[in-house]
Structure 1
Amino acid sequence: MSANSANLKQKVATSLASARSAARDIARGVEEIRSQLLEVQERRRAASNAPVDIETSLQRLDKYLDRLTRLAGERAPGPKAFMQSPPSYREPNAGYSDIAFAYLDDLIRERMASGIKEAHANAVGLTESEREERLRAFDRDILDIELAEESLIRAAEAANFPIQRRAAADPRAVLAHDKVLP
């Protein structure tokens, strides 16, 4: 084998090694971006599922108990139901819960509110506006990450290194004009 032939083989081997290294670097970059995307999506899910703030919890309790108390008050027997003469007396047809809510509303409300306050002692609740603000910020971050992913995929394709797009890729990123990609 001539020195020139050996030199050409070395150049081919070096070029192939460089191409494989570039492909690995691109794939690693895409995986890092996708890992970051998963992390931000998980934080978004956590914010979306975070408990409401204590004020909202207590308002919900009040609304719920007000409805139950109103309904129970309509069904629970008043004192006159027990004062009817024997021939016209009929035992009231109200259940225990109707009577309890009609007559023990304040106690029930206090005990349930205490439980809510205790549960909130270790939970950070979000107001609706805080939740919306966080979700909007996460949505912006997610789109930015997806635009970066698309930018890297297009650069890889231009260099003949095809990268498979995720099925769940945001169409806004996939269809974005090159001018808006980072």
Structure 2
Amino acid sequence: MLNRQVFLVVAWVFLLALTVACATEEGPIGAEVAHGQIVGTDGATIGDFTFTQGVGGLLLYVEVEGLTPGGHGIHLHSIGACSPDFKASAGHIDTVDKPHGLLNPDGVHDGDLPNIYAAADGTAKAEIFTTLVELETLLDDDGSAVVIHAQPDDHVTQPIGGAGDRVGCGVIEKS
């Protein structure tokens, strides 16, 4: 009986170690992952992000610094390009031809995400889950970008929820 218990404990420890060894920093084994660096208006890197595709949706982890304290709109833009003013990233991803805003009664488009909030020191960390878009869409022929705005998104006002200027941008790249 004792030998069987020892065997079960050893087997359990082995399986646990194997599970940990198979996971990566970028996501669980087998999961599609993408990443990128966020640059500020001066071209300096101010943060990074990682997308992990799950069965039920897409998980975005973002970490950024140098923001003004408070809320900031964050959206998925339709072109994977970040020029100095970030206009090359075009508008929000909208494959469903819906208006902007998570709270819009007429629906939402794919690039809408909840706001992120910067602390008094200008840093923000967030995990955002969305079912509105998949990684495959973000990695299409012209790519996609994560764009951070100067103000919070009110999730209704057109076209960007009153979120103001673009203050950060990152091209989404397959890991």
Larger radius of gyration: 1
TM-score exceeds 0.5: no
Q: Which TM-score tier does this pair reach, normalised by the shorter chain? A: under 0.3
**Length-normalised TM-score, structure 1:** 0.23
Name whichever structure is richer in helix by fraction. 1
Which one has a larger percent strand, Structure 1 or Structure 2? 2
Relative contact order (alpha carbons < 8 A, sep ≥ 6): 1 or 2 greater?
1
